[in-house]
């Protein structure tokens, strides 16, 4: 297990270097932030001065060398727009995003897993097709559209819920639904296919031979086994939520790292963009590793392997 974790950490480090390189050069393709910061009638000298202050005047490879040198020491630069260390800006906003994620996953599992079990039990039947339709809808609906639709219905027309910004529990409802809807479908489909496979197995037959009730056979013997692939999905989903939050947080003016990413791109805030993407990558890599370790606790075969 220790060797496995060490190997995964090495792989993660390599991946991070690649991510950092790509985001550095790709970010610079969007244009010069100086154009956005100075009025249109600024003189060439003003522009040159600001460019120099921001450290954007040297050859791009030199800039990259400086960036790498600082990054190794944990310094990912200072945000151009916010005038504060980019890392601090990220960690200021991170909790706001993280508070949404457990609720979205909870919603996804609470609806998706039972739907998947029901669909598997009625394979090919009306309920299966109904659940399948829900799944397709959930995946097909883009979150910016669903978010705006929810705001329109529940905030504008009905006036029941706030349309954006952070606040009390009511502020969570719409963003969580928007994030969670995508997950319901995923959880449902993976639960369904895993259940169908497990239900055919010999140990389920033996459970029935024992005379166990159908409820125990399905919800204990089948579901526990079907949850193993569901758990793997967690890693993917948390990753999806962190990246997917860009759109949802922008729609709901939610001050999390998704919206921070959006702002970094729009304002060509290179140091912030680099920091946000690198830190997000670290976050996703750690979550995936954590899920794989957690996996070992659900499936005893992996635990002792």
Partner 1 sequence: MTPDAKGETVLEVRDLHTHFFLRRGVVKAVDGVSFSLRRGEVLGLVGESGCGKSLTALSLMRLLPKGGAQTIKGEVLLGGENILECTPAEMREIRGRRISMVLQDPQTSLNPVFAIGDQLREALLRRKRAPLTRAPHAEVMKEAVAALRRVEIAAPEQRISQYPHQMSGGMKQRVVGAIAISGEPGVLIADEPTTALDVTIQLQYLKLLKRLQAETGMAILFITHDFGVVGRMCDRVAVMYAGRIVECGPVRRIFEAPQHPYTRALIASVPKMTGPVGRLTTIEGQPPSLMDLPVGCRFASRCSLVEQRCLDAYPGTVRVGDEHTADCWKATPA
Decide whether 126 or 304 has the Cβ nearer to partner 1. 304
State the residues that interact with partner 1 by CB under 8 A.
200-214, 216, 221, 224-225, 228, 298-301, 304
**Nearest distance from C-beta of residue 233 to partner 1, angstroms:** 17
**Nearest distance from C-beta of residue 138 to partner 1, angstroms:** 28
**Nearest distance from C-beta of residue 298 to partner 1, angstroms:** 7
Report whether 89 contacts 275 (CB < 8 A): yes
DSSP bridge pairs for 78: 85
Residue 193, classified by CB atoms within 10 Å of its CB into exposed (0-12), middle (13-18) or buried (19+), is middle
Decide whether 73 or 301 has the Cβ nearer to partner 1. 301
Decide whether 37 or 212 has the Cβ nearer to partner 1. 212
Q: What is the CA radius of gyration of the chain?
A: 24
**SS3 state at 34:** helix
Decide whether 225 or 274 has the Cβ nearer to partner 1. 225
**Nearest distance from C-beta of residue 135 to partner 1, angstroms:** 22
Query: What is the number of other CB atoms lying within 10 angstroms of the CB of residue 108?
Result: 26
Q: How far is CA 117 from CA 108, 129, 239, in A?
A: 14, 13, 25
Decide whether 30 or 213 has the Cβ nearer to partner 1. 213
Decide whether 102 or 125 has the Cβ nearer to partner 1. 125
DSSP state of 219: I
**Nearest distance from C-beta of residue 299 to partner 1, angstroms:** 6
Name the residue among 233, 239, 227, 217 with its Cα closest to residue 297.
227
What's the 3-state SS for 27-73? HHCCCCHHHHHCCCCCCHHHHHHHHHHCCCCCCHHHHHHHHHHHHHC
Residue 208, classified by CB atoms within 10 Å of its CB into exposed (0-12), middle (13-18) or buried (19+), is middle
**Nearest distance from C-beta of residue 114 to partner 1, angstroms:** 19
Decide whether 94 or 118 has the Cβ nearer to partner 1. 118
Rounded to an integer, what distance in angstroms lies between the CA atom of residue 145 and that of residue 141?
7
**Nearest distance from C-beta of residue 106 to partner 1, angstroms:** 23
């Amino acid at each position: 297990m220790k060797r496995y974790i060490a190997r995964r950490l090495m792989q993660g480090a390599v991946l991070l270097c690649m991510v950092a390189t790509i985001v550095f050069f790709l970010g610079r393709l969007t244009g010069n932030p100086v154009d956005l910061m100075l009025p249109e009638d600024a003189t060439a000298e003003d522009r040159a001065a600001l460019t120099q202050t921001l450290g954007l005047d040297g050859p791009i490879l030199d800039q990259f060398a400086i960036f790498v040198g600082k990054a190794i020491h944990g310094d990912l630069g200072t945000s151009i727009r916010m005038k504060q260390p980019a890392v601090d800006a990220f960690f200021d906003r991170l909790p706001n995003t993280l508070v949404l994620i457990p609720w979205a996953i909870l919603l996804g599992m609470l609806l998706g897993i039972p739907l998947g079990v029901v669909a598997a039990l009625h394979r090919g039947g009306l309920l299966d097709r109904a659940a399948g339709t829900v799944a397709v809808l959930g995946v097909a609906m883009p979150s910016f559209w669903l978010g705006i639709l929810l705001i329109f219905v529940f905030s504008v027309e009905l006036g029941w819920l706030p349309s954006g910004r952070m606040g009390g529990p009511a502020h969570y409802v719409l963003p969580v639904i928007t994030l969670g809807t995508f997950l319901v479908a995923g959880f449902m489909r993976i639960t369904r296919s895993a259940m169908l496979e497990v239900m055919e197995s010999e140990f389920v037959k033996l459970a029935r031979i024992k005379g166990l009730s159908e409820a125990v056979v399905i919800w204990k013997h089948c579901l526990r086994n079907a949850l193993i692939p569901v758990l793997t999905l967690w890693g993917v989903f948390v990753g999806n939520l962190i990246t997917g939050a860009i759109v949802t947080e922008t729609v709901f003016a939610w001050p999390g790292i998704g919206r921070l990413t959006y702002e970094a791109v729009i304002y060509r805030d290179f140091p912030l963009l680099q920091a946000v993407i690198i830190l997000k990558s670290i976050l996703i890599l750690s979550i995936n590793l954590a899920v794989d370790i957690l996996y070992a606790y659900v499936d005893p075969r992996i635990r002792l392997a």
